[in-house]
Amino acid sequence: MTTSTSELVDASVVERTLGVAMRHGAAFAEVFVEDKRTTGISLDDRRVEELTSGRDRGAGIRVVVGETTGFAHTADLSEKGLAEAAEAAAAVARSGGGGAREVALGDRRPVAPSRAEILPEGVEKATKVELLRRADEAARASGSSIVQVSAGYGDSRRRILVANSDGLLTGDDQVRTRFSVMCVASGDTGMQTGYESLALTVGFELFDRFPVEDAASVAAGRAVAKLSARPAPSGVLPIVIKSGTGGILFHEACGHGLEADHVVKDASAYRGRIGELVASPLVTLVDDGTPADQWGTASIDDEGRPAQRNVLIENGVLVDYMWDHLRARKEGRESSGNGRRQSYQHLPMVRMTNTYLIAGKDDPDEIVAQTPYGVYVAKLGGGQVNTATGDFVFGMTEAFLIENGRITEPLRDANLIGNGPDVLRKIDAVGDDFEMCPGTCGKDGQSVPVGCGQATLRVSGVTVGGTAGA
């Protein structure tokens, strides 16, 4: 399935729009056009609570004069509307003063191949609702302790066109489908929750590959297991992180510090450290927008640069940062394909795609067996990180005690507290069971889909913020 960039805006119109943007001496101009359709459905306590469909179309135009970036966006895709946006962006850029400034013109009126096999927009909403009902039934079948089930479905189709004054004209057709289940279990220790999600850059065929009943059973099982959980220990302990789930820790605690905009603003713990040993020699960290179907995968970034595989840390040595077009241009190098934006209404910035640690050679079971006492983290939740220092706090939403080299009792939710660069240095075992998981990355008010991943690994010591003594 292919899409033509001319389906969004005719190439000749784009060319004339760039001419308007450049005619007063700009160094660079760019037109970004987006047409995005979305569907969202939520079910709570056996009732459909929300069913929404939306479409958002428009263009963002960026003009650079010296050190100043002018930006304007419009929902009017006529040649007149695009020309007015180009004039507005150029006027802002010529005003000088450095930095980036935006002008919103307002809503003036009410192309790469898609990876999807089955476009979700062609699937009846009743069929999508039925997925939620099936998940609800499967979760409740896990036992009488399940007292509440919430499920959510979402899909999107995002077609984009990117053109700039360097002569680039390209596009992409991105289809994403997701599903999530949250269960609440009730017992003598109170209420406990469990969560599971599915999300890939594919169409409705997602559910042929991953039955929603399986996701519901996993979520219910997590909630039920925590009914018998004991308080987590506290103190500095070895932790073993299950494959897939720990990727979010490295995304937040390390990945953001490797984005060039943080580096140039001196807001990164990795500034000026290219060529230095910054992690265990077992660590090779990659950002890669190309893996088939992953949540952060696309054919191009939002500046039109082809997605690529970028090695950031190799065998513990820092080898590169992630770059967008403008920062790379100033350094006389190519973008790494990491210029991303939430929508046509936003300026692009340096963002991760799919960020992961390369698998090692250790047996995951042996990693646990060689850990006399510690915590096995089966699923991490959200967290906070200071990119300048790397300090972080993450929640453990599914964890177990390791005793005498065996995974034993489930633990109540607790926090992991540490420092990203320190954690990288303390990785002393990496398994061969690599997995990925989906996520949403927020930065400077913008959210984009990303993938995270790693094999089972062990960190020799991290502070566990539990309520029981270690």
- Provide the pLDDT for residue 390: 85
Residue 255 has pLDDT above 60, yes or no: yes
**pLDDT tens figures, 22-39:** 998 899 999 999 999 999
Residues 6+ apart with CB under 8 A from 442: none
Going by C-alpha positions, the residue among 359, 338, 342, 350 that lies closest to residue 246 is 359
Amino acid occupying residue 69: T
CA 135 to chain centre: 25
- Provide the pLDDT for residue 379: 92
Residue 108 has pLDDT above 60, yes or no: no
- Provide the pLDDT for residue 5: 58
- Provide the pLDDT for residue 387: 80
| Collapsed DSSP state (helix, strand, coil) of residue 433 | coil
Residue 360 is encoded by which pair of tokens?
Answer: 């090692």
Annotate 295-334 with b (16+ C-beta within 10 A) or e (fewer). Answer: bbbbbbbbbbbebbebebbbebbbebbbbbbbbbbeeeee
% helix, strand, coil for the chain, step of 5: 25, 45, 35
Q: Residue 247's beta-bridge partner residues?
A: none
Element (H, E) at 297: none
Tell me yes or no: is domain 5-228 CATH 2.60.120.560. Answer: no
DSSP result, 88-110: HHHHHHHT-SSEEEEEEEE----
Alpha carbons 57 and 77: distance in angstroms, whole number:
8
Alpha carbons 279 and 285: distance in angstroms, whole number:
10
> Residue ranges of the domains in the chain?
5-228, 233-469
Pair 427, 454: CB distance under 8 Å: no
Residue 62 has pLDDT above 80, yes or no: yes
**pLDDT tens figures, 324-356:** 999 999 999 999 999 999 999 999 999 999 999
CA 147 to chain centre: 31
- Provide the pLDDT for residue 1: 45
Alpha carbons 259 and 46: distance in angstroms, whole number:
43
CA 122 to chain centre: 26
The pLDDT-based confidence of 143 (bands split at 50, 70, 90) is very high
* Among the ranges given (26-30, 148-152, 248-252), the one the predictor scored with the smallest mean pLDDT: 248-252
- Provide the pLDDT for residue 99: 67
Alpha carbons within 13 A on the beta-carbon side of 396: 31
Residue 414 has pLDDT above 70, yes or no: yes
